């Protein structure tokens, strides 16, 4: 019986050695995070899956306790990132599987910060499946894990506040956002608009962007317009097409809410938002654009809403599945 062919990764490990291969995979994994906003999950998910398979091969080859721990941490990060990418692609079953893998690995490391990040991504997935109570519960569980650490910012603003907004719980929205912004002020966080998939804590810009979405859900359109105005110079200076699209969609939906709304202008801003990220469609932009279309229709601009919905369908066509 002929011997089974060696896995392609084995040759790389033979050349570099397990330790250097581990370092190389860690660098490339960080590179995926850095490139995510520019290239999107359609291109980068297959690349990260290849890195994950290489990490699995490394598990058979590393020999020191330090390398084994570093590999476990890296594998947890890769699974967590793939869970997030899967949500962006509306592949929720894959997101559940990757999140479970990341949580198990993080638990083995007693890494509560990573566990909190994973809970945030599970909440993110539930939110985009319209399971808002589940999203709220997951985010609150994540806040408990995060304690006073920086991960609580994402969990409060992206998780608790947005889910509570969809449930009409104004008090929880306000409390969560106040806590999130207070934590941002105390933390030495990043300046500018960081990558949505970054494993590090949120800074002011990401927090404010999520705050706008939460305020929109409870009908506080004046606060949405203030936040988007404050955000505009930061977002425009960033390389985040998604952030620009999402900010404009929140702005456009808020513009439909006043008594004498300029619905034509709101629809124009919505179409502009879609065009800005047409090269790399993700679920969150599509969902937000559909919400704008419904708001336009409810306010009486049926044609503009229908036109936007058709544009969203065309915009979503390039979305592809992640191969497992």
The residue extents of the domains of the chain are 1-91, 111-225, 240-324
Are the C-beta atoms of residues 110 and 141 closer than 8 Å to each other? no
Are the C-beta atoms of residues 211 and 156 closer than 8 Å to each other? no
| Percent residues over pLDDT 90 in the chain | 88
Residue 324 has pLDDT above 70, yes or no: no
pLDDT at 141 (0 to 100): 98
Mean pLDDT of 248-273: 95
Residue 178 CB partners (closer than 8 Å, separation 6+) = none
Give CA–CA dist 139/117, Å, rounded.
10
pLDDT at 98 (0 to 100): 98
- pLDDT band per the 50, 70, 90 thresholds, residue 5: very low
Mean pLDDT of 151-176: 98
Residue 2 has pLDDT above 60, yes or no: no
Are the C-beta atoms of residues 244 and 236 closer than 8 Å to each other? yes
- pLDDT band per the 50, 70, 90 thresholds, residue 319: low
pLDDT at 105 (0 to 100): 98
Angle at the Cα of 131 (from 125 to 137), degrees rounded to 5?
Answer: 80
Q: At 61, phi and psi to the nearest 5?
A: -120, -30
Least confident of 6-20, 237-251, 262-276: 6-20
Percent helix, strand and coil across the chain, each to the nearest 5: 75, 0, 25
pLDDT at 6 (0 to 100): 41
pLDDT at 189 (0 to 100): 80
| Percent residues over pLDDT 70 in the chain | 95
CA distances from 128 to 21, 122, 131, 138 (A): 37, 10, 7, 13
When the pLDDT of each residue in the chain is averaged and rounded to a whole number, the result is 92
Mean pLDDT of 53-63: 92
Pick among 1.25.40.10, 2.40.50.140, 3.30.1370.60, 3.40.50.1820: CATH of 111-225: 1.25.40.10
pLDDT at 9 (0 to 100): 59
Nearest to 268 by CA among 237, 286, 292, 242: 292
- pLDDT band per the 50, 70, 90 thresholds, residue 11: confident
- pLDDT band per the 50, 70, 90 thresholds, residue 208: very high
pLDDT at 177 (0 to 100): 98
Residue 322 has pLDDT above 60, yes or no: no
Residue 215 has pLDDT above 80, yes or no: yes
Are the C-beta atoms of residues 19 and 58 closer than 8 Å to each other? no
CA distances from 118 to 107, 303, 320 (A): 11, 41, 23
pLDDT at 305 (0 to 100): 94
pTM: 0.91
């Amino acid at each position: 019986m002929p011997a089974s062919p060696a896995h392609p990764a084995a040759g790389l490990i033979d050349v570099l050695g397990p330790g250097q291969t581990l370092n190389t995979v860690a660098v490339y994994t960080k590179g995926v995070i850095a490139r995510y906003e520019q290239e999107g999950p359609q291109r980068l998910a297959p690349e990260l899956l290849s890195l994950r398979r290489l990490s699995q091969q490394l598990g058979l080859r590393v020999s020191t306790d330090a390398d084994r721990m570093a590999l476990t941490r890296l594998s947890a990060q890769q699974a967590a990132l793939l869970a997030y990418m899967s949500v962006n692609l509306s592949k929720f079953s894959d997101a559940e599987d990757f999140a479970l893998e990341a949580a198990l690995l993080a638990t083995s490391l007693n890494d509560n910060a990573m566990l909190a990040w994973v809970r945030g991504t599970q909440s993110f997935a539930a939110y985009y499946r319209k399971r808002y109570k589940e999203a709220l519960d997951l985010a609150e569980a994540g806040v408990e894990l995060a304690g006073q650490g920086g991960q609580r910012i994402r969990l409060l603003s992206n998780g608790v506040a947005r889910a509570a907004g969809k449930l009409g719980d104004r008090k929880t929205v306000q409390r969560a956002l106040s806590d999130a912004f207070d934590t941002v002020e105390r933390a030495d966080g990043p300046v500018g608009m960081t990558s949505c998939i970054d494993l590090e804590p949120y800074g002011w810009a990401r927090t404010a962007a999520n705050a706008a979405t939460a305020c929109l859900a409870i009908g506080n359109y004046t606060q949405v317009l203030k936040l988007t105005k404050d955000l505009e110079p930061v977002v425009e200076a960033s390389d985040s097409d998604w952030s620009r699209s999402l900010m404009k969609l929140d702005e456009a939906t808020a513009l439909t809410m006043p008594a004498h709304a300029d619905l034509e202008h709101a629809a124009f801003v919505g179409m502009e938002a879609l065009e800005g990220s047409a090269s790399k469609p993700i679920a969150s932009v599509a969902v937000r654009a559909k919400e704008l279309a419904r708001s336009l229709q409810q306010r009486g601009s049926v044609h503009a809403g229908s036109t936007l919905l058709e544009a969203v369908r065309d915009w979503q066509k390039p979305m592809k599945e992640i191969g497992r």
